[in-house]
Chains A and B, each alone.
Chain A
Amino acid sequence: MADLPPVKRRISLTWLGLLPFIAFIVLFLALPTMKIVIGAFQRPDGSFTLSNLAGLFTPTILGSYWISIKISLASSAIGCLVGFLMAAGMVLGGLPKAIRSPLLTFSGVASNFAGVPLAFAFLATLGPLGLVTMFLRHEFGINLRAMGFNILSFWGLTITYLFFQIPLMILIITPALDGLKREWREAASCLGASGAQYWRIVALPILFPTILGTFALLFANAFGAVATAIALTGSSLNIVPIMLFAQIRGDVLGDPHLGYAMAFGMILVTGLANVIYILLRMRSERWLK
């Protein structure tokens, strides 16, 4: 670009202001991602193939995707439900106004409190010697372990992920609940609708795109979470991020291009979830503005 003739240069001066940004995005976001996507379709010698993707369909890798998807589905579904109920209680349930600001601030903190420390917090609570585990055993004689609960498991991970899923839902759904107009409720009750009918016929259909969209966002959020899972379970639970981490670290599958394929699969899943989120987000903004 430096050797363009001066005339052309004057014309393109405006977008040149974006050059540093474009360079940054290309070098540290676009190219690395493309390298992964293209690598997923390449043999080690550079020729193109579909065998890497076919390699994903082994029981181990397919199983890891399945566990990952299940954990992401469970934690985002429960996160959406609980987050919605808490936000609805706060906005519409007649709780004191004073609860709102602390809850939103805490949600801001908690939705950023992922990673290794979060895993420790749950180990200290629901782990073998954790606060709640010991409390239940000493006070009520309930032995969580004997009942089959283990923090290093599907449900353990799901419960841990809820710590950042619920707050994220609260943060996103609160403005939407604020956007429900009083008049709609009044109009519904003038026409003789009960509270349940108002929710089923008016409010929920309006909120539905936001809820479903947030569900997709939470799903992607859980699917990409690495640090919490590694710190919590070590490598005892074969979810995709942990498999990929081990693959990058030590090439455990013996085939670097299988790593590309796994990473490509992750982009595919989170990308799809985000497309759903964006589409539904645009739909919901029609009503809630």
Chain B
Amino acid sequence: MTKAASWAIMILGILYFVLPLWGMVEFSLSMRRGVYSFDAYTAVLSDPQFRQTFSYSVLMALLTILFGILLVVPTAFWVQLKLPRLRPLIEFITLMPLVIPAIVTVFGYIRLYNTSSWLPLTGTTLGTNFLLVMGYATLSLPYMYRAVDTGLRSIDVATLTEAAQSLGAGWVRIIGQIILPNVLVAVLSGSFVTFAIVMGEFTMAALLNRPAFGPYLQLMGANKAYEPFALATIAFVITWACMGLIQLVTRFTKHTKAGR
């Protein structure tokens, strides 16, 4: 490939990526005729429904992250320590949510856990919220598991465990106080991806009828002129911030390692 051709395709590509973002931001700023203003943002931020759906999604994201850590860290640790032969299988299973579309999974939830089934989770608000967190945990499983597994591979799990055991530590203590701090960066990366996924998720929340940020975005898009673009900009900034934080924690730990 010649240099000129490389530049041409790169510039065209970047133009394609910048224009929609530019268009989105421009639109979100042009609520007042003739001048740029933050009117759309003010309108959005003062909407009680925005605050409710946004904080609902934040809460769901935090619960999903908490559940994800409690599920994935001990599992990946156990596979690494005791069942290394099962690793390809477990890894394959964790990738399945990328194969089965979210809309199919949530359809299965609705049919399996409806009010007339053996486990009527959708019958109560608490049950539906629980189901939604499980759904989000499924969606983020590929990213969470990969991150933690990679983190675990870079430390000597067997030696750490033996050392802790000979000092009399139990499993909970080993995982909580020895393993977890050692893979904290990996866990944080997984958590930020999970946060970004949950904040923007639409399908599951909409089909389970939960008041999350994604369905609210869609509703606003159908009913308002400028506010949706302010919301989309906010959503993009959140995604961007999550990815930025991943880079930041990764870089931060590289420094601490180099300093030793």
A121 touches B (CB below 8 Å) = yes
Q: How many B residues face the partner with a CB closer than 8 A?
A: 75
Residues of A within 8 Å of B211, CB to CB, are none
Contact of A224 among B6, B101, B202, B221 (CB under 8 A): B101
* Residues B17 and A248 in contact, CB atoms below 8 Å apart: no
Shortest beta-carbon distance from A232 to chain B in Å:
9
- The closest CB in chain A to the CB of B228 belongs to A120
Q: Is B190 an interface residue (CB 8 A)?
A: no
* B97 contacts A110, C-beta separation under 8 Å: no
CA distance A37 to B157 in the complex (A): 40
Chain B residues, Cβ within 8 Å of A15:
83
B49 CB within 8 Å of chain A: no
Q: Indicate whether A237 reaches chain B with its CB closer than 8 angstroms.
A: no
With a cutoff of 8 Å between Cβ atoms, the chain B residues found around residue A166 in the complex are 13, 16-17
Contacts of B201 in A (CB 8 A): 115, 227
Q: Is the CB of A113 within 8 A of B24?
A: no
- Which single member of B79, B93, B99 contacts A270 (CB below 8 Å)? B99
Chain A binding site: helix, strand, loop or mixed by DSSP? Answer: helix
> Interface on chain B toward A: helix, strand, loop, or mixed SS?
helix
The answer on a CB contact under 8 Å between A20 and B102 is: no
Tell whether, in the assembled complex, residue B99 and residue A220 are in contact, meaning their CB atoms are under 8 Å apart: yes
* Residues in B6-25 with C-beta less than 8 Å from chain A: 6-7, 9-10, 13, 16-17, 19-24
Report the separation of the CA atoms of residues A31 and B83 in the bound assembly, to the nearest whole angstrom. Answer: 24
Name B209's closest neighbour in chain A (CB-CB): A249
Q: Which of A27, A112, A163, A274 contacts B99 (CB 8 A)?
A: A274
B138 contacts A29, C-beta separation under 8 Å: yes
Whether a CB of chain A sits under 8 angstroms from the CB of B217 is yes
**Stretch of B50-58, B161-169, B176-184, B229-237 with 4 or more beta carbons under 8 angstroms from chain A:** B229-237
For the complex, count residues of A whose C-beta is within 8 A of B. 76
Contact among B17, B103, B221 for A226, CB-based, below 8 A: B103
Which residue of B10, B78, B217 contacts A17 across the interface (Cβ within 8 Å)? B78
Q: B2, B23, B111, B137: which contacts A121 (Cβ < 8 A)?
A: B23
A28 to B206, CA, bound (A): 18
Chain A residue nearest in CB terms to B108? A32
Asked whether B107 is an interface residue with its Cβ less than 8 Å from the other chain, the reply is yes
A110 touches B6 (CB 8 A): no
User: Is A241 in contact with B103, judged by CB distance below 8 angstroms?
Assistant: yes
Chain B residues in contact with chain A, CB under 8 A? 1-3, 5-7, 9-10, 13, 16-17, 19-24, 26-28, 71, 74-75, 78-79, 82-83, 86, 90, 93, 96-112, 134-135, 137-138, 193, 196-197, 200-203, 206-207, 214, 217-218, 221-222, 228-229, 231-232, 235-236, 239-240, 243, 247
Q: Told that A27-B134, A35-B112, A124-B23 touch, could you supply 9 new A-B pairs with CB distance under 8 A? A: A20-B75, A29-B138, A32-B107, A116-B200, A116-B218, A117-B235, A120-B232, A123-B221, A241-B103
